[in-house]
Structure 1
Amino acid sequence: MSDETYLDLSDLTLAYGKTVAVESLNLSIRKGELIALLGPSGCGKTTTMRAITGLLRPASGKITLDGADITYVPANKRHVGLVFQSYALFPHLTVFENVAFGLRLKKLPTVEINQRVEAGLAMVGLGKFHSRKPAELSGGQQQRVALARSLVMEPKVLLLDEPLSNLDARLRLEMRTELQRVQRESGVTMVFVTHDQNEALALADRIVVMKEGAIEQVGSPEDVYNRPRSRFVADFVGFENIFAVKDGKIVTDNGAVDLAGASAVNAPGLAWRPHMVTLGEGRFQGEVLGAAFAGGSREYLLKSPLGPIKAEMDASAPAFEPGSTVAFDLPPERAAVLERM
């Protein structure tokens, strides 16, 4: 993977009429990277992808790919591939003809088309499926055909819109591995849009978390998962106990509360995942409102003076019954330190 910027979005503002969807976005992507645009519906991730493909004209800003300004280059001349959420396969064409479709539009020689299609289908593991129609394929196989169709066009960047959302859980796991393998073998730069944090964590080299048309955090999966910088990102990646910090105290609905060790935290917020909460001992007391067995663990919801607390313990530990009172603590050394609330 190159360290130099390959795809660059500079001060990019995107709008639908007078409604601004993305404002002054800056993002640099290296050649060969697999990038995830992650966020809830309406955060601007798909809009950003549409601008990269050329399907949406920027209101302002610049898009550079491989050293060339493509901001206003037509979509069909950008060397950017797109795999749709719906796959968009032609139902009346065979697998071979679906993959060959774009190549035929370019009027390439028949020999070259055959070679590229054969190589593309082999790369996605469908070398023996040339003559099948899309209706004869599973969802995962259809996704592979759509992927091959884009790869044979030899794009500089391949964009994928919620690529695994139409697959069941087992196929999603298989296709995650398949996408990583294809990306590694082809070396193509990939950008995929998703609202599924597990998908982004499993696939991406870097994750771009978006909120309301802006980038909230960019980092490796480990950084985003373990070291969220804002309340929004912490909540999005599963930190369910989030508190503001002021003058060394955590701020709750019932006022500020001293927390041993919090005085050393020079940040506006702290966040704990449920498993980071100490349960069964500690300075606080909570009433168990609910308990749920979750396989290897038990999940608890506590009513406490700090507000609702979500905790988790190993399933092998003694269970706490609903209605019982249990001691708990929020160890600051386990918490994620938030830069923004």
Structure 2
Amino acid sequence: MSDAYLSLEKLTLAYGDTVAVGNLDLDIGKGELIALLGPSGCGKTTTMRAIAGLLPVKSGHIRLDGTDMTRTPPNKRAVGLVFQSYALFPHLSVYENVAFGLKLKGMRGSELDQKVRGGLTSVGLSSFADRKPAELSGGQQQRVALARSMVMEPKVLLLDEPLSNLDARLRLEMRTELQRVQKETGVTMIFVTHDQTEALSLADRIVVMKNGAIEQIGTPEDIYNRPASAFVADFVGFENIFALDQGKLKTEHGLADPSGALPGEALSAAGLAWRPRMVTLGSGPFRGTVRGTSFAGDRREYLLASDLGPIKAEVDASEPVHAPDAEIAFDLPAAKAAPLKRFA
């Protein structure tokens, strides 16, 4: 038995006869901020729903703070849940929304008032207590939903795609807000997302999921710089990915020698991956034809057709522009590549 604060042990979850998550093991420490990251259908939301008690467990165990809560009803789990839609009561004020769960627990009077106002203060909404949800921005509604869960003092707080309904500026603000609240309260927090930027900027550790299983667990730096598989590499922005066969790149036209000596850890790797910005344009042993270009502010992105297959490159926008159909030399420096332990 694990001594982790929250432990998922050989967890299998299913919808009817269809297994959505199979034999999953995951240990989470007290006070950690964890991201479940992956594409639609990978099992991340299903796992979160099982932790909340909203989905029955087919087999395995969920243990929280030393107690097996696999069969515990949702309202007895001390687990908070912030929905993607926020699920605020439109006819109730901000104050009443935050107080709702506490009233169900029987809290009244000055104790209730102190708790609600403390919750609103923690998310910076003290002056919005009398407003209705329709009078708030998306970011403010998100904070109300967060305060409503936090005043219940959950042992674990679950957030389902918490920032997906916000515009880019508000997403940045709410990332900071979530981090602040989590660090100040010390609550164990798990959030589900398909956005790698969101996961990298918020989480202490990231759990990358694929087909109902964990593909890789690591710090944001580990996931970003040292993906374990081609799937993870592709998901976090390595767009030039090649399998290795006896130290050579497997390409659309056969095997090709990598440029430069392979670093030690790459000698036994299953594949190599390069981000577009790792590609050298204008020099190198390979040739490509410009098939597409796009301006992206401080950088310019290129799509090349080559004997290696499609290559995506990225250079500083101040560099000379390569015209469509121009032939250009390029390099995939072996020293810059991320070695992949698994390619499948």
TM-score, normalisation: structure 1: 0.98
Asked if the contact 2:156/2:188 (under 8 Å) is kept, the reply is yes
Asked if the contact 1:249/1:263 (under 8 Å) is kept, the reply is no
What residue number does 1:261 align with? Answer: 261
1:227-262 alpha-carbon deviations (Å, 9 max, x no partner)? 100000000001000000011110001001112324
Distance in 2 between residues matched to 1:293 and 1:143, nearest whole Å: 34
Asked if the contact 2:243/2:249 (under 8 Å) is kept, the reply is yes
The 3-state SS of whatever aligns with 1:223 is: helix
What residue number does 2:23 align with? Answer: 24
Distance in 2 between residues matched to 1:87 and 1:60, nearest whole Å: 30
What residue number does 1:89 align with? Answer: 88
Q: Larger deviation: 257-266 or 111-120?
A: 257-266
What residue number does 1:243 align with? Answer: 242
What are the equivalent positions in structure 2 for 1:317-336 lying under 5 Å apart?
Answer: 317-336=319-338
Runs (5+) with no aligned partner, structure 1: none
What are the equivalent positions in structure 2 for 1:113-262 lying under 5 Å apart?
Answer: 113-259=112-258, 260-262=260-262
Asked if the contact 2:272/2:337 (under 8 Å) is kept, the reply is yes
User: Equivalent of 2:289, from 287, 290, 293?
Assistant: 287
The 3-state SS of whatever aligns with 2:100 is: helix
Asked if the contact 2:263/2:335 (under 8 Å) is kept, the reply is no
Amino acid at match of 1:30: G
Residue 324 of structure 1 deviates from its aligned partner by 1.0
Distance in 2 between residues matched to 1:143 and 1:258, nearest whole Å: 52
1:257-311 alpha-carbon deviations (Å, 9 max, x no partner)? 1123249521110000001011110011111111211111111111111011111
What residue number does 1:74 align with? Answer: 73
Asked if the contact 1:270/1:336 (under 8 Å) is kept, the reply is yes
Quick check: 1:57 aligned with 2:56? yes
Residue 113 of structure 1 deviates from its aligned partner by 1.1
Distance in 1 between residues matched to 2:241 and 2:300, nearest whole Å: 20
Distance in 1 between residues matched to 2:78 and 2:43, nearest whole Å: 23
Q: How many residues matched?
A: 339
1:313-332 alpha-carbon deviations (Å, 9 max, x no partner)? 11122221111111111111
Moved over 4 A (4+): none
Q: Larger deviation: 108-117 or 80-89?
A: 108-117
What residue number does 1:272 align with? Answer: 274
Asked if the contact 1:157/1:190 (under 8 Å) is kept, the reply is yes
The 3-state SS of whatever aligns with 1:316 is: coil
What residue number does 1:101 align with? Answer: 100
Asked if the contact 1:249/1:262 (under 8 Å) is kept, the reply is no
Asked if the contact 1:285/1:326 (under 8 Å) is kept, the reply is yes
Residue 130 of structure 1 deviates from its aligned partner by 1.1
What residue number does 2:316 align with? Answer: 314
Runs (5+) with no aligned partner, structure 2: none
CA RMSD after TM alignment: 1.2
TM-score, normalisation: structure 2: 0.97
Distance in 1 between residues matched to 2:340 and 2:331, nearest whole Å: 19
Residue 109 of structure 1 deviates from its aligned partner by 3.3
